[in-house]
Structure 1
Amino acid sequence: MRITVRPADLHADRDVLIDMMLRFLTPMSDGPRYDWLYHQNPDGQAQLWVLIDSDTGAIVGSGGFVPRRMYVNGRESLCAILVDFWIHPEYRSLGPALQLQRACLAGIEAGPYDLYYDFPQENMVAVYRRLGIETSQWLVRLTKPLSLKRKFGRLSQIPFFGRSLIAATNGILKLRDAGKGNRSRCTISEQRVECGDNFTQLARQVSSKYGVCVARTASYLNWRFQSHFHHRCEMLTAHRDGSLLGYILFVEDAETATILDLFGMEDERMKSDLVFAALEVLRERNVLSVNAPSLRSHPQTAFLRKLGFYPREPHPVVISAPRGKAGLEGANFFLMDGDRDS
């Protein structure tokens, strides 16, 4: 069995890739996701490589990257995020994985990209290690309970006592949070239209304070969140005297919600108001808990912990610069769940 790698033709290979990704990568693989991720990204079209069984000509794996504008060392740079790495189960071994990932990284090396990052699965960590690339950061899942219904388990099924106990306990949780909001004198409101130039201006004004981070321009936010192929992402904004100071993005999935992004001026009261306004919306919908994945090393993680979020399991993150590019030693990185590929 001879395995080769070639660049994907994003149009000619489209139907095969959608089908194979549905079978071996994600249940969300379909035409809208493919077009959204590979073609509609405002920072540029994706580049993809496919693993080929030379005996049959079949595609048995793929991997690639999506261009992403970021602020690096105080300036806006073109960077890349690795996406959609999968291999057919019959071909899953270190050799084909290394062959495919080398092609992806060579594509980045050959382009104008100042850095790349990835949220690899555990089995990909070994591939990166064989390529001499270590996991340099950790994305920790921060979580905050809004209800103790799960905690009480079967006790919640007792008609009067169980429900009364849960209601009383949840009331205490709500009351504890109520005293922490509405301190910034900002107007918190839902963003119901596309993001405008004021979001781009905010990103340019404050991104350097966050360290190395995604350039949260209006075009990026509208594509990544407002026009998402599957999720209904919600945004609350904070304004004072007509000026945009910050925003929070979150998505609800049954009884759990996830904060995708929390960004804005260095004003902890304003950010606290955004967080607790989002929590109040989610409480009214009977959401039981809220997750806020964030890089463990960034100060915003400590800030969220002060608001009652506590850390759970960490996940590895790879952040690296292509050869010949400026080093990233000592840089402060800011990534949240919304900075993933999809």
Structure 2
Amino acid sequence: MTVKCREANLERDREEILHFLREHLPVHSDEKRFEWLYLQNPAGPARVWLAAGASGRIIGVEAASPRPVWFDGAPRRAWVLTDLCIAPDSRSLGPALGLQRTCLSGLSASGEALWYDFPSRSMMAVWRRLGVRPAGSQARFVRLTRIDSKVQGYIPNRLLAGAISKVGNLAINYSRASTRRLRDYEIVHYNGQFGEEFTELDSRTSTHYPVRGRRTAEFLNWRYRRNPIENYQVVVAKRGSELAGYAALAVLETEWTIADLHPLEETGVVSGLLGCLHELSRRSNVERLTAPVIDGSLLAFHLTRAGFLRRESSPVIASARNWFLTHGDRDS
């Protein structure tokens, strides 16, 4: 198959990109998402590459979205690879391989050496062909807060299922003391815009991990307050008037996902925030809390200690090692 790849012009090729993504991307892709993700990112506009067949018809799209990061304590810009999709009648290795090579070459030619990707299983074949090995893995940690739907799946009798669920819910919600609230901190819902105190917290924690995404107020407002796809709740931990940490949650009806958990100090603050999130989810009749985090990270340790169980994991591909990445670092 003859495939030609080129970088798109977001203004000139906008309608063609949108039309292709609407047809082939497995997430809700519309004008609002395009504006937010491709054009309104405070780190700059996205870059997009198109693959065309011999007839000139677009058969594939890939994008890279800029992300501000801390790299060994210094501010840098990285790119998260996203929205790779190939038309069903062209899903051979060639188009995806061509797009990936063109994307990486384009970033490299611009001096953009930092990038990362959360590849699907099928995409791993492309990375293997390129000779790129995973830089780590991201695991999904889960803590159940209610077992009603699971019990109902096995026991059709509602009265019996309800009685069993009641006992089970009590057991899973009070079995761990490690998510207790701490007296030194006030942990509350935060409904406002992110202010400069969040940027200051981010700067003070720039060396907590070798490589991690920056969390300035500007980025947080874009990622969590202006996101047209997901609904987020935020809780903050304060010690007096000082911001000591926060957590952002992607909220669905039965499942909440911890997108970010950012403490000033790991000891104490993480435990208090997790305890608050658990209590909020329990009161909201949420069935489970989930947290996708990098295997072997300190946060993974705290989640295990707080009663979360490690489930499946998936590879992370990156141009450098020792990244710390959460749900808040991905766009698809």
TM-score, structure 2 length as denominator? 0.95
Q: 1:335 is aligned with what amino acid? A: L
Give the distance between the partners of 2:192 and 2:153, measured in 1 at CA.
43
CA contact (8 A) 1:234 1:251 kept: yes
- 1:340 corresponds in structure 2 to 330
The offset of 1:318, in angstroms, is 0.4
Aligned ranges for residues 150-161 of structure 1 at < 5 Å? 150-154=149-153, 157-161=156-160
Hey, what does 1:4 align to over in structure 2? 4
Cα displacement string for residues 122-164 of structure 1 (whole angstroms, at most 9, x for unaligned residues)? 1111111111211121110100110122332345542433212
Once the two structures are superposed, residues 285-328 of structure 1 have per-residue CA deviations (whole angstroms, 9 ceiling, x without a partner) of 2111111110002121011100000111111110115xxxxxx4
Q: Which residue of 2 aligns with 1:253?
A: 252
Amino acid paired to 2:307: G
Q: TM-score, normalised by structure 1?
A: 0.92
What does residue range 225-264 of structure 1 map to in structure 2 within 5 Å? 225-264=224-263
| Residue of structure 1 in register with 2:50 after alignment | 50
CA drift of 1:185 comes to 1.8
The aligned residue for residue 195 of structure 2 is 196
Secondary structure, aligned partner of 1:150 = helix
| 1-structure distance, mates of 2:267, 2:135 | 27
Q: Deviations over 1:80-100 (max 9, x none)?
A: 111111111111111221111
Which 4+ runs in 1 deviate beyond 6 A?
Answer: none
Q: Equivalent residue for 1:29? A: 29
Q: Give CA deviations for 1:51-104 in whole Å, capped at 9, x if unaligned.
A: 11232x221111121111111112111111111111111111112211111110
- Contact persistence 2:225–2:232 (CA under 8 A): yes
Amino acid aligned to 1:341: D
C-alpha contact 1:3 1:52 (8 A) present in aligned 2 = yes
Q: Please state if 1:90 is matched with 2:89.
A: yes
Number of positions where the alignment pairs a residue of Structure 1 with one of Structure 2: 332
Judge which range, 101-110 or 4-13, deviates more.
4-13
Matched residue type, 1:244: L
Q: What is the 5 A alignment of 1:1-342?
A: 2-55=2-55, 57-154=56-153, 157-177=156-176, 180-321=179-320, 328=321, 332-342=322-332
What is the identity, as a one-letter code, of the residue corresponding to 1:65?
A
Distance 1:155 1:103 in 2: 50
- Give the AA of the match of 2:146: S
What fraction of aligned residue pairs are identical, expressed as a percent? 33
1:183-205 deviations in Å (ceiling 9; x for gaps): 25211111111101111111110
Question: How far apart in 2 are the matches of 1:93 and 1:179?
Answer: 49
1:47 shift after superposition: 0.7
Letter of the 1:340 counterpart: R
Partner SS for 2:143: strand
